[in-house]
Amino acid sequence: MAARVLRGRGHETKAAMSRFLEAQGSTHDPWLLPDVEPAVARLHRAIEQREGVAIFGDYDVDGLASTALMQRTLERLSVPVWSRIPERAQGYGLSVCAVEEAHARGARLLLTVDNGVRAFEALQRARELGLDVIVTDHHEPDGANLPPALAIVNPKREGSEYPFREIAGCTVAYKLLQAYLERHAPRHLDSFSARYADLVALATIADCMPLCDENRVLVREGLRALCGTGKAGLRALLQVANVRASNGTLGGTQVGMFVSPRLNAAGRMGEVGSALELLLCNDEDESRRLAQVLDGHNTRRKELSGEMSLQALQLLDEFDVEGDAAFVIAREGWGHGMVGPLASRLVERLGRPVIVLAIEGDMAHGSGRSAGGFDLGLLLETSRDLITEGGGHAGACGVHLPVENLEAFRERVRECVGQSMGAERVEPEVKPECMVESRELSSQLVSDFERFEPCGASNHEPVLGMLGATILDGRNIGAGGAHLKWRVKLGAQEFDALWWSPGDKADGFGLGARVDLGFTPQLNTFNGRTSLQLVIKHARLHEG
Ligand SMILES: [Mn+2]
């Protein structure tokens, strides 16, 4: 069965299958990244002379993990460091004002992580102030146009010889430090990897980097490291998120679902500081307190997103939900950090690209999510006359525009999307990869599938299909009854089936109904008994 799924994913030969399953092999040489040479040399000088270093990160998990990685490592090397993460409301990336503050605090070297490759204005200011800057980033540069800096380490630079482009910002920072240690302190290399692999895995998963090539190796090692992490803050976070290890490791999907949102929640609620503190914290009690704070932000975030969904649905009443090719929804009172996730939820519901904007005074700030392969980055390029700022890639974008242009922008979006893909609804991809009979489901199958881990972007958990199962029993579970648990019967066998946050997708399934399910099999241990459980990805009424 595992082989059937692998073949479906394009691993045709035995050799290709075992290459994938073993996920071994080396990671790429950090020295292949552009500008590593000058960056290592400058870093070395800063470390030798104990110069003040300012680190500039970002408010998402990748940016936070990168900042924590740099700060922890440089502190170990006895460098005076100071780090700063902007709040979402201040906007993404390095600002002129942050550069001036670092200068005033006596920093000699600025280090950006997970941002900076387009910070033209801020880096111009740094140059005027006589500060050296090392940029580490994984965002797409503006073609060959680079800001002034001593070094720009980014695998996406034109002419980069690094063999893989899709690494997280945290991985870029990690590689730079690895190169530094290789040259100047090789005896610390092993402990460095052991100590920080967990942050690299967290960042790679949260930033939805494809889990192939070296990411698969890095994340597999990192998830194992995360289980036994020496970071008190991460231990406390795993505990409040109720994430437990099995066979000495954690599932990639599990980390993406339960750990990343809690770290992101602080930034979304405008209090990013506590998330960074948690990643830097070594004290048990303080860690527990911070983890509770993040968990509280996460609960509040969930409540708020529920309210926002309702408000959005009200706004949608004014649109042609069946006929429109894309949707631009705007409202006052929505938080900056919350519009992106709302757009994702609306895309799931509407099956078409959605941009959600928060109106503040005479400006609207927002976030878009695509569907059906429509390129939002391109859309922004053709809307430059209407927007003040915007950037993104095919799947997601961020945009700022004056409220007076809102109606024209909405028209432009409808037109562009309509021309390229029509108003056809795009169903989300949850096609079963392989149909099964109930007797084929076993705990052996679950352990075969475990070797697919780490799962996440570009390597999702295997989805199997079963036809015509009968619902014997059903109940809502979890806080607010958000999740659904069914007992289903197929042939002579019965299974527990769990559907995480189905929302209104679970409407219309009564007891006794026959259903077709797309699911991932899992082992569930409860009161010391282990049984096979189906985690539902998709359900529909059985026909015939
Ligand atoms: Mn990133």
Q: How remote is the CA of residue 535 from the centroid of ligand 1, in Å?
A: 29
Find how far residue 24's CA is from the centre of its chain. Answer: 24
Is residue 408 situated within a structural domain? yes
Q: What is the pLDDT of residues 486-514, one digit of tens each?
A: 999 998 899 999 998 888 788 889 899 99
Q: How remote is the CA of residue 113 from the centroid of ligand 1, in Å?
A: 9
Task: Say if residue 269 is in the same domain as residue 194.
Answer: no
Task: Say if residue 459 is in the same domain as residue 535.
Answer: yes
* Token pair of 321 as six digits: 């939900």
Q: Annotate 191-225 with DSSP letters as a single string.
A: HHHHHHHHHHHHHHHHTT--S-HHHHHHHHHHHHH
Write the DSSP symbol of residue 383. Answer: T
Is residue 357 situated within a structural domain? yes
Is residue 426 situated within a structural domain? no
Predicted confidence band of residue 150 (pLDDT cuts 50, 70, 90): very high
Ligand 1 being an ion, which residues bring their Cβ within 5 A of it?
62, 114, 169, 207
Is residue 15 situated within a structural domain? no
Predicted confidence band of residue 458 (pLDDT cuts 50, 70, 90): confident
Q: Is the pLDDT of residue 428 over 70?
A: no
Task: Say if residue 398 is in the same domain as residue 453.
Answer: no
Q: How remote is the CA of residue 223 from the centroid of ligand 1, in Å?
A: 19
| Count of domains forming the chain | 4
Assign residue 478 the CATH number of its domain.
2.40.50.460
Q: Is the pLDDT of residue 290 over 90?
A: yes
Q: Using CA atoms, how far apart are residues 301 and 295, in angstroms rounded to an integer?
A: 10
Assign residue 28 the CATH number of its domain.
3.90.1640.30
pLDDT the model gives residue 100: 96
Domain boundary among 397, 421, 445: 421
Task: Say if residue 475 is in the same domain as residue 406.
Answer: no
Assign residue 409 the CATH number of its domain.
3.10.310.30
Q: What is the pLDDT of residues 151-195, one digit of tens each?
A: 999 999 999 999 999 999 999 999 999 999 999 999 999 999 999
Q: Is the pLDDT of residue 87 over 90?
A: no
Is residue 5 situated within a structural domain? no
Task: Say if residue 197 is in the same domain as residue 251.
Answer: no
Task: Say if residue 207 is in the same domain as residue 248.
Answer: no
Backbone angles phi, psi at 140, to 5 degrees: -65, 125
Task: Say if residue 529 is in the same domain as residue 448.
Answer: yes
Q: How remote is the CA of residue 115 from the centroid of ligand 1, in Å?
A: 7
pTM: 0.86
Task: Say if residue 161 is in the same domain as residue 245.
Answer: no
Is residue 206 situated within a structural domain? yes
Q: How remote is the CA of residue 172 from the centroid of ligand 1, in Å?
A: 10
Q: Using CA atoms, how far apart are residues 522 and 531, in angstroms rounded to an integer?
A: 8
* Token pair of 211 as six digits: 């889990």
Tell me which of 138 and 528 has the higher pLDDT. 138
Task: Say if residue 406 is in the same domain as residue 448.
Answer: no
Task: Say if residue 41 is in the same domain as residue 153.
Answer: yes
DSSP E strand boundaries for 211-317: none
Predicted confidence band of residue 238 (pLDDT cuts 50, 70, 90): very high
- What is the three-class DSSP state of 483? strand
Task: Say if residue 445 is in the same domain as residue 506.
Answer: yes
Q: How remote is the CA of residue 378 from the centroid of ligand 1, in Å?
A: 20
Q: How remote is the CA of residue 322 from the centroid of ligand 1, in Å?
A: 35
Is residue 6 situated within a structural domain? no
Q: How remote is the CA of residue 514 from the centroid of ligand 1, in Å?
A: 43
Amino acid at 477: I
Q: How remote is the CA of residue 325 from the centroid of ligand 1, in Å?
A: 30
The conformational region for residue 357 under phi > 0 = left, psi -120 to 50 = alpha, else beta, is beta
Task: Say if residue 236 is in the same domain as residue 202.
Answer: no
Is residue 313 situated within a structural domain? no
Mean pLDDT of 379-396: 85
Q: Is the pLDDT of residue 427 over 70?
A: no
For the ranges 110-124, 311-325, 474-488, the one whose mean pLDDT is highest: 110-124
Range of the domain at 502: 434-541
For the ranges 233-237, 438-442, 453-457, 459-463, the one whose mean pLDDT is highest: 233-237
Q: How remote is the CA of residue 286 from the centroid of ligand 1, in Å?
A: 27
Contact 139, 162 (CB under 8 A): no
pLDDT the model gives residue 430: 66
